[in-house]
Structure 1
Amino acid sequence: MIYRVGDVLRISCPFTPTVVTGVDEAYVSVRWPWWEIDPDAEGVRWNGEVDLGRADPDELYMTDPASPRLAPGDTCRVGIPARIIHVIEVHEYEPPQETGWLPRPSLSLLVLRVGEAPDVAAEFQGTSIEPDGGVPFTLELLFRPYAFLEVGDDAADAAGRAGRFDGPWTWTAYDGAGGVPAWPLALLIGGADPTAVAAATATGSHEAEVTRWRRAAGLQDDAQSR
């Protein structure tokens, strides 16, 4: 699957047995059951453990039993209960990224929990996941804004303005003016189906599409979208 900014996904990961290697006020450390140490990594050494935030609201993974009941040497399970996230960044790596563990990921997604809006002023926000990085995620696409267009497509809006679609929140009008496209849209060139674009935008608006996305992502009406 090709992921895009704006995708609303349901993520889960089977709970898998492991061992607790350390506990402090902030983290519980566990032997990570899905990765292997990369013997060929240069300048990156990984000890086979992962620290999970005990009170971090962005932490996707959970332990069973819960971390307050765990001590070093305990056995537990680690996984992700089914929950909804949305994608705010997509990064591809060629060659795959050297992380210190195997497999080396070639794709990472920066995601937010349902109900959390992107904050352009935040220096750090979100959690990174690697769909091809060895963890047996299940990722189900629940909603994709502007699913009828492909990134890089050119389209004309109802006002006759031509622009390039670079993602659901990035419309680059060739006349240099700002604003969002007025529906309906007509595909000029690109990989999308012209009939599907016309049909999908025959009713509605850019603002209505944003509202649909916000509803799927669990955002409040007063939350700021991109």
Structure 2
Amino acid sequence: MMYEGDFRVGDVLSVACPFTPTRVERGVMWDHVSVRWPWWRIDTDSAFFRWNGIVALGVDSGGYVSAEAGAELFRTDPPPEHLKAGDACRVGVPPTVVHVTAVDHHVPPLETGWLPRPELTVVVLRRGLSYREFPDGSHLNGEGYSLHPGDGIPFAFELLMRPYAFLRPGDEVADAAGRAWLFDGPWSWTAFDAAGPGTGPEWPLVLLTRSGVPCSVADAEAVAEGTAIGSHQKTVRHWMSLTQASPTP
């Protein structure tokens, strides 16, 4: 189980939310079903937004409620096509594999029109969705479904994979081929030479600096141990097998 706030781009998660009773405000119309949201409260002090307590959920052909290429996570029970205004239903998220495309912290908390105001946004894509659904590659800039852990929705997260968990963005490493690299995320490696990225760093790796300063012995040992076997390419393949997606365009 992941603690709130402990999210990184590239993380592969299982996310779920218990199905919670609510009622339908408007049946399916223009590919949306509108329900009374059971978790948030109206923010009467909001200066910019006036939320009425209702959330419109888009409906796709697979039974998911979806506004963008199947990105939405929530489902209704019964399914949307069986609902009309005034019906009782439940809304929630069945256990769903996602990968994280962006993480943003909000100081002060984000003003949205509902309470509690989000302090964190985690953008995810469901298993099987990647840049192929966003031909311009825009999901790499945070496109997908935005979750706000800690905003009152009782999400449960399980970390399935964190590629390069032993590294931190900004780390500098040397690889087995004698090349130096800057790590800015599992799919964001910058080589310090002019040879280009190629297929990524060659394992094992040696940690050179952390946050611009010499690394500790313990940190260096963790990186050496984490890359003693396997390869960058094997890490990518494992990630792709979990997400059924491509990490890069």
TM-score in terms of structure 1 length: 0.91
Alignment of 1:202 onto 2:228 = yes
What is the distance in 2 between the residues matched to 1:122 and 1:172?
A: 19
What is the distance in 2 between the residues matched to 1:42 and 1:80?
A: 31
What is the distance in 2 between the residues matched to 1:120 and 1:93?
A: 29
The one of 172, 176, 194 aligned to 1:158 = 176
The answer (yes or no) to whether the contact 1:9–1:85 under 8 Å persists in 2 is yes
Within 5 Å, give how 1:1-226 maps onto structure 2: 1=3, 2-23=6-27, 24-55=29-60, 56=66, 57-118=70-131, 119=134, 121-123=136-138, 125-175=143-193, 177-179=195-197, 180-190=200-210, 193-219=219-245, 223=246, 225=248
Secondary structure of the residue aligned to 2:85 is: coil
What is the distance in 2 between the residues matched to 1:70 and 1:168?
A: 43
Q: Deviations over 1:72-108 (max 9, x none)?
A: 1111111011111111111121111111101111111
Secondary structure of the residue aligned to 1:199 is: helix
The Cα of 1:171 is off from its aligned counterpart by 1.3
Gaps of at least 5 residues in structure 1 are none
What is the distance in 2 between the residues matched to 1:40 and 1:197?
A: 48
Secondary structure of the residue aligned to 2:98 is: strand
> What root-mean-square deviation, in Å, do the aligned CA atoms of Structure 1 and Structure 2 show?
1.9
**CA distance 1:224–1:43, change in 2 (3 Å):** closer
Secondary structure of the residue aligned to 2:101 is: strand
Quick one: percent identity of the two aligned structures?
Answer: 52
Letter matched to residue 163 of structure 1:
W
The Cα of 1:120 is off from its aligned counterpart by 6.2
The answer (yes or no) to whether the contact 2:187–2:247 under 8 Å persists in 1 is no
The Cα of 1:164 is off from its aligned counterpart by 2.0
**CA distance 1:166–1:224, change in 2 (3 Å):** closer
The answer (yes or no) to whether the contact 1:25–1:54 under 8 Å persists in 2 is no
The farther-off stretch of 127-136 and 6-15 is: 127-136
The count of corresponding residues between Structure 1 and Structure 2 is 223
What is the distance in 1 between the residues matched to 2:194 and 2:154?
A: 44
What is the distance in 2 between the residues matched to 1:177 and 1:87?
A: 30
Gaps of at least 5 residues in structure 2 are 61-65
**CA distance 1:120–1:145, change in 2 (3 Å):** farther
What is the distance in 2 between the residues matched to 1:136 and 1:143?
A: 22
TM-score in terms of structure 2 length: 0.83
